[in-house]
Amino acid sequence: METAHNIRSVLQPSAVEAFYGSVRQSSQRLCESLSDADATVQSMPDASPAKWHLAHTSWFFETMVLGPHLPGYRVFDDSYNFLFNSYYETIGARHPRPKRGMITRPSLEVISAYRAHVDAGVERLLDRMPSAGVVELLELGCHHEQQHQELLLTDILHLFSQNPTQPAYKDPSPSRAEANASGQAGYKPFVGGVVEIGHDGEGFAFDCEGPRHRVFLEPFQLADRLVTNQEWLEFISDGGYLDARLWLSEGWAKTRAEGWSMPLYWEKRDDGFWTMTLRGPRMVDLAAPVVHVGYFEADAFATWAGRRLPTEAEWEHAAQGLSQEGNFADSGHLQPRPTSSSSDSLRQMFGDVWEWTRSAFSPYPRFRAVEGAVGEYNGKFMSGQFVLRGGSCVTPPSHIRPTYRNFFPPDARWQFSGVRLAEDM
């Protein structure tokens, strides 16, 4: 789910210009292998066509930055305000989200021209030495586009999984399952007490990441790695999807209604379990982290394992001070990877898969949405969502931090989401 507003910008105009150029080029590169049809089709109401992502992010810069702050700026096409607005009620009417795949025109070529038009406007704006507030909006727009880069990849995977030929977004790599999984997970203890979480105001963050505040944690333990496909297969074999006692009531109803019996994209073949990836169909790697499971599944697995999901405060407290290196989009792997051998430290806290927490997406103490359209995105979504932490294998590495709060409804499965267990001490 995309968020909308930053707390504070620390970049100078020259740095924002470089960041802007890098982000915009990255979006274009993500779509180089896509045909106009690939970029137009919408595989489900929750997904958006790649073409729409490219246009919407440009619309954001045009509407939030160039229109109000660049004198003489000419809007590329008046109809785009209706076509490519997402959820901004204060800006006006918009095309329904479930029907974005019906926007067969403008073509991908025209959308590329639109992006070039907006880029030229941003270049003129930066030549005028914009105010700190405008620089902040530009930086916000760049992080907003990085969110859409990740969504674009998740949506392409879902789209290609629906294609009977199951095409690969990137060149396929050899498919094989690891002979051995990662062994038993260890658990790192934390004494708890009063701790501080939330963004401290230095550097970029979305508004929902702050204010920084104190919380009390009971002593807890956090698994030193993510739950693996091998462990999830044991859950399946033990009837985990068939035992109502493991599931929240709403989750059990959803499981029955939609026939869940394994993670999204898995299928059983004669030689074992296979899954769809951005590199095409592959055998499930038993040692790799399980991915494409929703909150309901994550919670049921934790109950089956005799443990629980961590709270977001526990996760953030444990993550403070850790290296943010991990398997992100820049690795080119585009799927979760097995962890290294056991160690005394927490592994896979960043990258590989977004980690479900048991925390509802709700406001921190003293949170207030900002004035204007850019304040719409977070506060109004603080209902019926659960928080995920840590980023994934399709997250841009410069886009993640320990305080980042991603959020999705509990039945969402097409995101690169997985599980880390916790337990009380």
CA distance 67 to 80: 13
Total residues found in the chain within this entry: 425
pLDDT higher than 50, residue 4: no
Give the type of residue at 369.
Answer: A
**pLDDT value of position 179:** 43
Q: Does residue 358 contact residue 220 with C-beta atoms inside 8 Å?
A: no
**pLDDT value of position 378:** 64
Every domain of the chain and the residues it spans: 13-162, 187-424
Looking up tokens 């919670």 gives 299
Q: In the CATH hierarchy, which fold is given to the domain comprising 187-424? A: paralog of FGE (formylglycine-generating enzyme) (3.90.1580)
Q: Which residues is 362 bridged to in the sheet?
A: none
Q: In the CATH hierarchy, which fold is given to the domain comprising 13-162? A: Four Helix Bundle (Hemerythrin (Met), subunit A) (1.20.120)
Query: What is the separation of C-alpha 299 from the centre of its chain, rounded to a whole number of angstroms?
Result: 19
In this prediction, residue 382 has a pLDDT band, given cuts at 50, 70 and 90, of confident
370 vs 355: which has the higher pLDDT: 355
CA distance 352 to 363: 27
Give tens-digit pLDDT for 150-170: 999 999 999 999 999 999 999
Give the type of residue at 76.
Answer: F
Give tens-digit pLDDT for 277-331: 999 999 999 999 999 999 999 999 999 999 999 999 999 999 999 999 999 999 9
- pTM recorded for the entire structure: 0.94
Q: Does residue 411 contact residue 249 with C-beta atoms inside 8 Å?
A: no
